[in-house]
Homo-oligomer: A and B are copies of this chain.
Amino acid sequence: MTPLSADDRLALEATFTAYCAAIDRRESAAVAASYYTEDGMMDNTALGSPIVEGRPAVTAAINGMFASMAKLEHFLSNFLVTQTTGNAVQTQCYVQAYGQPNGGAEFGMRGIYRVAMTRIDNEWKIARLTFQHFA
């Protein structure tokens, strides 16, 4: 495994944290989608959603979340880099998510995000974000 600098490790964690902050702020789906590569994928098949691919589709999916959910909170922890190959890395973190559908009751959910990230023009971008339940 190619060693990553401390700056890179912190940037990877900060990028994914900033993405989740953009989701939780609910200001702009386009801003949230800009954390993905142009052809980035969001894979929530574990939650019954189809895979979405490419920033326009990701933006639409995030707008869908904003429209249906009155509240979204993603508490991240246990960040790990699990594989490094040049400018492509696999990371993971645990998530405790809280949400509230419009007119519904708040619910909590725990799981693991597998986050493939790619360095493009010296910035880390999400190439594929996959939610998984604990085994």
Contact = CB atoms under 8 A, between A and B. Distances in A.
Interface of A: 5-7, 9-10, 14, 17-18, 20-21, 24-26, 71, 73-81, 92, 94, 96, 98, 110, 134-135
Number of copies: 3
Contacts of A20: 78
A80 B135 CA distance: 29
A118 to B, nearest CB: 21
Contacts of A76: 77-78
A80 B26 contact: no
B75 A134 contact: no
A14 B80 CA distance: 6
Contact of A80 (B7, B18, B78, B81): B18
Given A6-B7, A134-B24, A98 B80 contact: no
B9 A135 contact: no
8 contacts: A5-B6, A6-B10, A17-B79, A20-B78, A24-B134, A73-B134, A75-B94, A96-B96
Contacts of A74: 78
Contact of A78 (B6, B7, B17, B98): B17
Contacts of A10: 6, 9-10
